Amino acid sequence: MVVNTVGHLAEAGFHHPDLVVSYAFVTVKLMNHAAKGITEKDFTLAKKIEAVVMWQPGLESGALTGTPDDPRFKYIKYD
C-alpha cells in the first residue's frame, strides 16, 4: 500500500523517486537527476509523501478511527 501511494504521488507530481522495497520496510530516495542533487521538488514531494503515508485518522475527530491498537492490525510504524 505504501509503495502504491508513493508511486501515485510521484506520478501525479511528475517527479520520480528511487524505492527500495523489502519485507518490513520501504525506503524512498529523492534526488533530481537532471540537477544532480536535491531540489525544492524533492522537499515538496517528501512532505506530501510523509503527510499521506503517516496520516493517522485516529488522531482526528471524525468517522474514521484508525486501526485498533493491536499488532495484528498494524501495517505501519508511526514515529
Q: Note the pLDDT of residue 44.
A: 97
Q: Which three cell numbers stand for residue 55?
A: 496520516
The crossing angle, in degrees rounded to 10, of helices 2-13 and 40-53 is 140
- Could you tell me if residue 39 is inside a domain? yes
Residue 78: band (very low, low, confident or very high) from pLDDT cuts 50, 70, 90: confident
Residue 77 domain-assigned?
Answer: no
pLDDT band at 79 (very low <50, low <70, confident <90, very high): confident
Q: Domain containing 45: what range?
A: 2-59
> For residue 33, what is the domain's CATH number?
3.30.1360.20
Interval 32-75: pLDDT, tens? 888 989 999 999 999 999 999 999 998 888 999 888 888 888 77
pLDDT at 24: 84
